Amino acid sequence: MIRLIAGLGNPGPEYAATRHNAGFWFVDEVADRLKVSLAPERSYFGLAARASVAGRPLWLLEPTTFMNLSGKSVAALARFFKIEPAEVLVVHDELDLLPGQVKLKLGGSHAGHNGLKDIHAQLGPDYWRLRIGIGHPGVKAQVIDYVLKKPLADQRVEIQKAIEQALSGLDLVLDGEMDRATMKINARPPKPKPEPKPERPVAATPETKAS
């Protein structure tokens, strides 16, 4: 059962619209759906909100430690409320998925993501992750600059679609049905059907020409 959803990102208006803040975007949407407001919580080094889901408490968290120290915030809240790693869902941007793609998984490596790396150091690897695709610049040396920039307009639209795809499985996540949630969230959305091509007019022949 998920008891904590933590979205990763960097605090401050200069980072709000950057690719690295995709985790914040998701948590903002969840807070809106659950009708709660995130507020500063010094004890947890971030913005936090407590929601009630079927009579159970659910915490939402956006660390304000900057990405590299995300684990400091996530671990502080998790330890205070005795939340196990398997009851934590961390939402983050994912270079290895294209914009528009999203994947839910349990455990695994941090794959060089600095936010996950710090959470690994604090909680170990056995927590749930929601990976929101942002694409890759193609050159490793450009990654830092890439994640700290705003996505192109069409990429932002695709990232929002991925967030909505993940939100479609939110009820299953909150009900603890993680296998079904994984299948629903990870399913590729159907491609839109191409519009039928207009029929070409038949060329007139001598027999069909008006007399």
State the distance between the two ends of the chain, measured CA to CA, in whole angstroms.
Answer: 79
Closest CA to 63 of 36, 42, 82, 37: 42
Going 102 to 108 to 112 to 116, the CA torsion angle's sign is: positive
**H, E, C per residue of the chain:** CCCEEEECCCCCCCCCCCHHHHHHHHHHHHHHHHCCCCEEEHHHCEEEEEEEECCEEEEEEEECCCHHHHHHHHHHHHHHCCCCHHHEEEEEEECCCCCCCEEEEECCCCCCCHHHHHHHHHHCCCCEEEEEECCCCCCHHHHHHHHCCCCCHHHHHHHHHHHHHHHCCHHHHHCCCHHHHHHHHHCCCCCCCCCCCCCCCCCCCCCCCCC
- 136 as an active site residue: the answer is no
Active-site annotation holder among 20, 92, 113, 120: 20
Catalytic machinery residues: 20
